[in-house]
Amino acid sequence: MIDALPTHGIPADQVLAELRGLRQADLPTHGGKLFAYVYDPAVPGLDELAHSAYALSAHVNGLDPTAFPSLLATENALVAAAGRVLGAGPDTAAPDVVGSVTSGGTESLILAVKAARDAHPEITSPRLVIPVTAHAAFAKAAHYLGVELDLVEVDPVTFRPSPAAMAAAITIDTVLIACSAPSYAHGVIDPVEEIAAIALEEGIRCHVDACFGGWVLPYLRRIGVEVPAFDFSVPGVTSISVDLHKYAYCPKGVSVLLHRDASLRAPQYFAYADWPGYTMVNPVISSTRSGGPIAAAFATLRHIGDDGYLSLAAQTQSAVRGLAAAVTATPGLRLLAPADYSVVCLTSDDPELDLFVLADELGARGWHTQPQLPFGDIPASIHLTVTASVAPQVEAFGPALADAAKTARALGPVQLPEGMVSMIGAMTPDLLTPDMIAGLAEQFGLGDGAGAPRMAMVNTVLSVAPRRLRERLLAEFVSFLQRPSW
Ligand X SMILES: *Cc1c(COP(=O)(O)O)cnc(C)c1O
**What are the residues binding ligand X (CB under 6 A)?**
104-106, 109, 135, 137, 180, 184, 209, 211-212, 243, 255
CB 108 to ligand X: min, Å: 7
Q: Taking a C-beta distance cutoff of 8 angstroms, is the pair 140, 104 a contact? A: no
Q: Which is nearer to ligand X, 150 or 243 (CB)?
A: 243
CB 209 to ligand X: min, Å: 5
CB 320 to ligand X: min, Å: 16
Q: Which is nearer to ligand X, 243 or 360 (CB)?
A: 243
Q: What is the DSSP string of 431-465?
A: G--HHHHHHHHHHTT-SS-SSPPP-HHHHHHHHHS
CB 178 to ligand X: min, Å: 10
CB 462 to ligand X: min, Å: 20
Task: Give Cα separations from 480 to 424, 434, 436, 450 (angstroms).
Answer: 20, 7, 11, 16
Q: Which is nearer to ligand X, 384 or 424 (CB)?
A: 384
Q: Which is nearer to ligand X, 240 or 304 (CB)?
A: 240
The half-sphere exposure of 453 on its side-chain side, counting CA atoms within 13 A, is: 15
Q: Which is nearer to ligand X, 135 or 259 (CB)?
A: 135
Q: Which is nearer to ligand X, 105 or 163 (CB)?
A: 105
Q: Which is nearer to ligand X, 139 or 440 (CB)?
A: 139
Short-list 143, 93, 156, CA closest to 113:
143
- 34-39: long-range contacts at Cβ-Cβ below 8 A with a sequence spacing of 24 or more? 34/368, 35/367, 35/368, 35/369, 35/370, 35/383, 35/384, 35/385, 35/386, 35/390, 36/368, 36/369, 36/370, 36/383, 36/384, 36/385, 38/387, 39/245, 39/246, 39/247, 39/249, 39/385, 39/387
CB 289 to ligand X: min, Å: 15
CB 217 to ligand X: min, Å: 12
Q: Which is nearer to ligand X, 108 or 460 (CB)?
A: 108
State the Cα–Cα distance between residues 283 and 101, nearest whole angstrom.
Answer: 9
Q: Which residue is nearest to ligand X (CB)?
A: 105
CB 212 to ligand X: min, Å: 3
Q: Taking a C-beta distance cutoff of 8 angstroms, is the pair 461, 437 a contact? A: no
Q: Which is nearer to ligand X, 106 or 348 (CB)?
A: 106
CB 198 to ligand X: min, Å: 21
Q: What is the DSSP string of 282-315?
A: ESSS-SS-BSHHHHHHHHHHHHHHHHHHHHHHHH
Short-list 53, 107, 129, CA closest to 257:
107
User: What letter would DSSP give residue 368?
Assistant: B
State the Cα–Cα distance between residues 414 and 455, nearest whole angstrom.
Answer: 10
Short-list 71, 79, 65, CA closest to 53:
71
